Structure 1
Amino acid sequence: MRILVADDHKLIREIVASHLEKGGDFEVSQSENVNQVIQQIEDTGSFDVILLDVAMPGMHGLQGLQTVVAANAPGSTVLFSGTARRETVNDAINLGARGFIPKTLPARSLTNAIQFIASGEIFLPAAFHQDQIEGPTDGPPIQNLNPLERSILRSLCTGNTNKEIAREQDLTEVTVKMHLRAICNKLGAKNRTHAAMLAREAGIA
């Protein structure tokens, strides 16, 4: 899997690149500004996932993101930042970003997040989901689940393991774990058993 770490802080780039190269089947490149990102895409083709620092030179707000998203298609581009306002993340997703990875994400979770994004999903950290469900909603938490999350939850209620759910949904186990975490956060569930109980109470199991 080809990954591009785009950040103007050399230390951050090198730490992230080193971890990814050691912890997964990744070929990692680095860039320090938007112009370099575009040039590397033109030289070597699109990357599977680009981690794009939201405050990197050449970004000009989200204008740079939009440029990189278009240039890197059909690969995925995700915001990579120490902090990002929810409004900024939502705007970025509307422009084609595949979510937001905070620089504070634990190393192992970073690898899982990248695999999740590469599978075609949108990644948001657990805290982001929690912020969303704590605010006003249009209905019960169950209604906040998307169709795939509902399907995974129904499968969970039948007692299937992550491996069995992955096979049933044609997903990887890592992707299933990410979805289950999002489901628990959206439902306010403490764990998968609690999520299954809430699903049965809501009548979707």
Structure 2
Amino acid sequence: MNVLLIDDHALFREALVLLFAHHLPEFRLLEADNIGQAVEVAREHGDIALVLLDLGLADSHGMASLAALRDALPELTVVVLSADARRDTIVAAIDAGAAGFVPKVARGTELADALRTVLDGGVYLPAQALATDAPGTDDATVIDALSPRQVQVLQLLLQGKSNKLIGRALDLSESTVKTHLLAIFRRLEVNSRTQAVLAAARLGLRLPQGA
């Protein structure tokens, strides 16, 4: 299974290759140094598990990089890597469809844990993004309170999928997707997609495999 790294710093890419060999040997790391090259690489390889995206690229910068990638490859799950780990940046990345965020200062073991969390159906965010009061519930309670279809919708939401892509994946209208999302928001005690992802990360929420 492949992971696509998009970063224009060769030394950082080389360090990630070594990290994957040591901590994540089951994955092959593909590399690209800009969005255009990443699109070409992704189209050559059909088994990309997720994308690691640096927000500071030569051909794009900040949330524009994430938006360009999401427009070009909306089906892929994206985890942002960034030296800018301010809470506003983290929340903006989640709001733009990222399924996780890892500061570039993170240790190798933390990055490995983050990737496994996302690949296992969870959301990984650094502590500074979670500095709010958590809902008064736990992950088992949330999952048990949702219908099987709502669990599927939540799983795709946590992967950063838009309402349109969720509907396409589950053969639902966008209005039906919105209805399911409202029910999920009530269960999580939140009011938006971004808050739902943040709440899921605070809860350590894991979704059943194959949901």
**TM-score, normalization by structure 2:** 0.60
Report the equivalent of 2:135.
143
Corresponding residue number in structure 1 for 2:66: 65
Partner AA of 2:103 in structure 1: P
Partner of 1:166: none
Q: 1:142 to 1:86 in 2, by over 3 A?
A: closer
Instruction: Specify the alignment match of 1:20 in structure 2.
Output: 20
Instruction: Find the counterpart in structure 2 of residue 99 from structure 1.
Output: 100
How far the C-alpha of 1:183 sits from its partner, in A, is 4.6
Residues 49/69 of structure 1: CA separation in 2 closer, same or farther (3 Å cut): same
Conserved in 1, the CA contact under 8 Å of 2:34 and 2:58? yes
Aligned to 2:172: none
Give how far 1:63 is off. 2.3
Displacement of 1:71 in angstroms is 3.5
| Deviating 4+ runs (over 4 angstroms) | 149-152
> Match for 2:4: what amino acid?
L
Matched, 1:7 2:13: no
Which residue does the alignment assign to 1:122? 123
Matched, 1:89 2:90: yes
Gaps of 5+ in 1: 134-140, 153-178, 185-205
Distance 1:144 1:13, change over 3 A: farther
In structure 1, C-alpha distance between the alignment counterparts of 2:200 and 2:61, rounded to whole Å: 35
Q: CA deviation at 1:52?
A: 0.5
Q: Is the 8 A contact 2:4 2:31 kept in 1?
A: yes
**Residue 5 of structure 2 contacts residue 13 of structure 2 at CA under 8 Å; is this kept in 1?**
yes
Q: Relative to structure 1, is the Cα distance of residues 34 and 46 closer, same or farther in structure 2, using a 3 angstrom cutoff?
A: farther
Cα offset for 1:39?
1.1
Amino acid at match of 1:14: E
Query: Take 1:85 and 1:3, find their aligned partners in 2: how far apart are those partners?
Result: 25
How far off its partner does 1:89 sit?
Answer: 2.0
Secondary structure at the aligned position of 2:59 is classed as coil
What amino acid maps onto 1:105 in structure 2?
A
Give 5+ residue unaligned stretches, structure 2.
144-198, 205-211
Could you tell me which amino acid in structure 1 is paired with residue 93 of structure 2? A
- How big is the shift at 1:49? 1.6
Q: Secondary structure at the match of 1:112?
A: helix
Aligned to 1:39: 40
The one-letter code of the counterpart of 2:46 is G
Aligned mates of 2:123, 2:49 — CA distance in 1 = 14
Report the 3-state secondary structure (helix = DSSP H, G, I; strand = E; otherwise coil) of the residue aligned with 1:48: strand
**Contact 2:5 2:53 (C-alpha < 8 Å) held by counterparts:** yes
TM-fit CA distance, 1:65 = 0.8
Deviation string for 1:95-153 (max 9, x for gaps)?
A: 21112111111111211110111223221012332xx22xxxxxxx35366x627559x
Identity of aligned residues (%): 27
**Rg larger in structure:** 1
Contact 2:57 2:65 in 1 (8 A): no
Using the TM superposition, give the Cα deviation of residue 46 of structure 1 relative to its aligned residue in structure 2, in angstroms. 5.7
Give, in whole Å, the separation in 2 of the partners of 1:16 and 1:37. 16
Count of paired positions: 148
Return the TM-score normalized by structure 1: 0.62
More relative contact order, 1 or 2 (CA 8 Å, 6+ apart)? 2
